Structure 1
Amino acid sequence: MITRRNIRVKVMQVLYQLDSTGNISDNEAIKMLDNRLEQTPRLFTYLIYFLTEVARYAEKDASQRASKHLATAEDKNVNTKLSGNTVLWAILENHSYRQAMAKYRFCFDTTEELVRSTYEALVPTEKYKQYIHLQNRDIKMERDMLTYIFSDLMLPEENFVAHIEENFTNWDDDAEMLNVLMLNELQKPSVLNLQQMPDAEKKTFAKELLQTAISKKDHVAGLIKARLKNWDPERIAVLDMILMQMGVCEFLYFPTIPPKVTINEYIDLAKDYSTAQSGHFVNGILDGIHKDLVAQNKIYKTDFKSKKAN
């Protein structure tokens, strides 16, 4: 599941882009957001694709070695158990995954080379040797084998990460979340639905947050400037101002999101995406504005205790 943090990052990026490009229509802004939201399922699909290609490479390796002019007995008996991994085939036969593959049609020059090198790094490992020597197909071992390839061979490999960063600009934003999603996917591949990434609720939240931040920009900016005291608004980092505007919008116009959650989220985003001092600065301003709005009875929050607000 795509998190609201991920959604906030993409809205933040669109607002930052709008600050640079000037006035555009609401439809164009939403299109920019949709393009950023689309980056996540595209990257996730590719990560799944790469993993499945590594597993299926066992058959290609067996075929290539057996066709050697002077093939050895070892060449003629390459173990292809991995290519029949039951979790692998649950993914390959998943309708949503097949739809996504037909949509994105990946074609990167270095994919096959990296797939081969990842497979070759796998073969000598004790984990792989134990796997291929098991006579049966234990579902836990099937899952563990694919998890091992992803977590221990793909992600730590500098060449793989460089390849992903080169072809997917959202890697830094989505990597941690997609790592969790991949591990979940390997546990239950049958429930994968790439067409619902993000789901309808998250898409609605993203669009409403963007539209609210745009339409209420002047009003929210006024509330922020009133709290700046000795700070010159023109000298505040653009990203800090955008994050604070988004936070105030959540205070005022998103009744199911607890203010504490909002403040913590934007503190973290400021730390990760802006300057070293931004987290402390954003915290102080948002906390002050929240107290002002509460004192003025201008914040109306629903009972969010029973809701998944974050």
Structure 2
Amino acid sequence: MLNRRSLRIKGMQAIFAYHTAREAEYNICKQEAQEQFIPDLNSMEVQDKDELAKKRELTAKGFEILIHKGTDQLPEDISSDIMKVIKEAQQSYLNRLASNRDYLKKRMLSGITSIYDDYIKFLYIIVEIEQLIEVEKRKKNNTHNNFVKNVVINKLKNNEALEEERIRKKVAWDTDLIKAWYKEYIKPQEFFVEYDNLAKATLEDDQELVQTIYKSIIFKHDNVNDYFETLDIGWSENKPILKSMVLKTIKSIETEASEPLLMELSKNWDEDLLFLKELYDLAIDREAEYEAMIDQKSNNWEIDRVALTDKVILEMAIAEMTHFTSIPVKVTINEYIELSKLYSTPKSKQFVNGLLDVLSEDLQKEGQIKKSGRGLLDNK
């Protein structure tokens, strides 16, 4: 199932992408502004190339000041034509940022909801394999077919709720792909041959076979995983979630009378979704405020020298500590330390840990951290 750490990772990746896109948009808009003063090769009038070069330089400086410091910091003698160009560039820059922000937020949320679609699709891999084997056995007039009789697979294949989800989500696999995986990675395996040769497979045998195929092949084989990585940039984070959901459903078929239990992506989906949306928005909207806090407490380590991943992690942590009253401070700090260990530099753990400890203490003294209910558990 999807947990809060998974959500934080998705949020971190989306916010990191926003920062990266912002830097690119900044450079593009500055260049476009400078290009307004490139000599016009089609003009019949004599152009002062030195003057235009100077204007390009002043345009770049003016744009930088306008974006980073504001209109009131612009030189008073800036010419009207340069002012017009940099103002237009500023508006273009802000429009692009807003567009990127919305796009990345939607992509983040759709990437999460698609995990459930993939869960339904992954449950059908074993059904697709069973159908291939059934055809293969029929061609050889082989009536001994433990796989086709497998209780777990038949429960999945004949479950009405699962079939409804399959149709609703338009689940379909490339038959040639599944056939190749079966012939190359499953059929030659010793565990598969032993199962196929059993005189009569028990429910325990059925369970073990299906679980082994998922554990050893679908979620482990390098070539299979390489395929999924090409389709899903978040595969490394999504795989353990999918694996857990699939295996829990398989294990839920405990008797021949059992029906597969379909997993929920989250027990508190609406609450989790709101958490992620607000965390994303807070980290972007209050970046300047959080950045000032980090800069003040980072022992003369200038904010522009802090690794971008660390900066994103710290700003998310501050947003979480100050905004989400039901999450204990220690939980927040521990979670973002883990993220720094997984996604940032070797020294990030100590940096993030030390800074968040200091910030949490100061923010609590200032009354900016207020916890209630479960959020009070670890804050004494």
TM-score (ref. length: structure 1): 0.83
Alignment of 1:31-110 (within 5 A): 31-63=106-138, 66=139, 75-77=140-142, 79-92=144-157, 93-96=159-162, 98-100=164-166, 102-106=168-172, 108=174, 110=177
Give the secondary-structure state (helix, strand or coil) at the position aligned to 2:98: coil
Alignment of 1:82-231 (within 5 A): 82-92=147-157, 93-96=159-162, 98-100=164-166, 102-106=168-172, 108=174, 110-122=177-189, 125=192, 127-129=194-196, 132-134=198-200, 137-138=202-203, 140-188=204-252, 190-193=260-263, 199-231=269-301
The 10-residue stretch of structure 1 (24-33 or 205-214) with the greater mean CA deviation from structure 2? 24-33
Residues 180-239 of structure 1, C-alpha deviation per residue, up to 9 Å, x if partnerless? 222212122633156769822222221121122222222222211111122121121111
1:255 paired with 2:329, answer no
Return the alpha-carbon distance in structure 2 between the equivalents of residues 195 and 223 of structure 1: 36
Q: Deviation at 1:250?
A: 0.8
Give the secondary-structure state (helix, strand or coil) at the position aligned to 2:188: helix
Return the alpha-carbon distance in structure 2 between the equivalents of residues 100 and 154 of structure 1: 19
Give the secondary-structure state (helix, strand or coil) at the position aligned to 2:141: helix
The 10-residue stretch of structure 1 (50-59 or 5-14) with the greater mean CA deviation from structure 2? 50-59
Question: Could you say if the C-alpha distance between residues 146 and 259 of structure 1 is closer, same or farther in structure 2, counting changes exceeding 3 Å?
Answer: same
Residue aligning to 1:16: 16
* Aligned amino acid, residue 163 of structure 1: Y
Return the alpha-carbon distance in structure 1 between the equivalents of residues 219 and 109 of structure 2: 27
Give the secondary-structure state (helix, strand or coil) at the position aligned to 2:346: coil
Q: Deviation at 1:261?
A: 1.1
How many residues are aligned here? 294
Question: Could you say if the C-alpha distance between residues 258 and 182 of structure 1 is closer, same or farther in structure 2, counting changes exceeding 3 Å?
Answer: same
Choose which of 371, 375, 378 in structure 2 pairs with 1:301: 371
Q: Deviation at 1:152?
A: 2.6
Return the alpha-carbon distance in structure 2 between the equivalents of residues 42 and 260 of structure 1: 34
* Aligned amino acid, residue 11 of structure 1: G
Query: Residue 127 of structure 1 contacts residue 145 of structure 1 at CA under 8 Å; is this kept in 2?
Result: no
* Aligned amino acid, residue 154 of structure 2: W
The 10-residue stretch of structure 1 (25-34 or 224-233) with the greater mean CA deviation from structure 2? 25-34
Bigger relative contact order, structure 1 or 2, given CA contacts below 8 A and separation 6+?
1
Residues 55-88 of structure 1, C-alpha deviation per residue, up to 9 Å, x if partnerless? 333202213xx2xxxxxxxx43253232232322
Give the secondary-structure state (helix, strand or coil) at the position aligned to 2:132: helix
Residues 153-173 of structure 1, C-alpha deviation per residue, up to 9 Å, x if partnerless? 333322212222222222111
Residue aligning to 1:287: 357
Return the alpha-carbon distance in structure 2 between the equivalents of residues 43 and 198 of structure 1: 20
1:271 paired with 2:341, answer yes
Which structure 2 segments of 5+ residues have no match?
23-96, 254-259
Q: Deviation at 1:248?
A: 0.7
The 10-residue stretch of structure 1 (90-99 or 216-225) with the greater mean CA deviation from structure 2? 90-99
Query: Residue 217 of structure 1 contacts residue 245 of structure 1 at CA under 8 Å; is this kept in 2?
Result: yes
Q: Deviation at 1:43?
A: 3.5
Q: What is the RMSD of the two structures over their aligned residues, measured on CA atoms?
A: 2.8
* Aligned amino acid, residue 122 of structure 2: L
Question: Could you say if the C-alpha distance between residues 32 and 197 of structure 1 is closer, same or farther in structure 2, counting changes exceeding 3 Å?
Answer: farther
Residue aligning to 1:70: none
Q: Deviation at 1:27?
A: 4.3
Identity of aligned residues (%): 23
Q: Deviation at 1:10?
A: 0.8
* Aligned amino acid, residue 7 of structure 1: L
Return the alpha-carbon distance in structure 1 between the equivalents of residues 369 and 195 of structure 2: 57
Return the alpha-carbon distance in structure 1 between the equivalents of residues 103 and 191 of structure 2: 52
Q: Deviation at 1:286?
A: 1.1
Return the alpha-carbon distance in structure 1 between the equivalents of residues 156 and 237 of structure 2: 25
Question: Could you say if the C-alpha distance between residues 106 and 24 of structure 1 is closer, same or farther in structure 2, counting changes exceeding 3 Å?
Answer: farther
Residue aligning to 2:79: none
TM-score (ref. length: structure 2): 0.69
Q: Deviation at 1:107?
A: 5.0
* Aligned amino acid, residue 116 of structure 1: K
Return the alpha-carbon distance in structure 2 between the equivalents of residues 56 and 165 of structure 1: 26
Return the alpha-carbon distance in structure 1 between the equivalents of residues 357 and 160 of structure 2: 46
Q: Which structure is larger by alpha-carbon Rg, 1 or 2? A: 2
* Aligned amino acid, residue 349 of structure 2: G
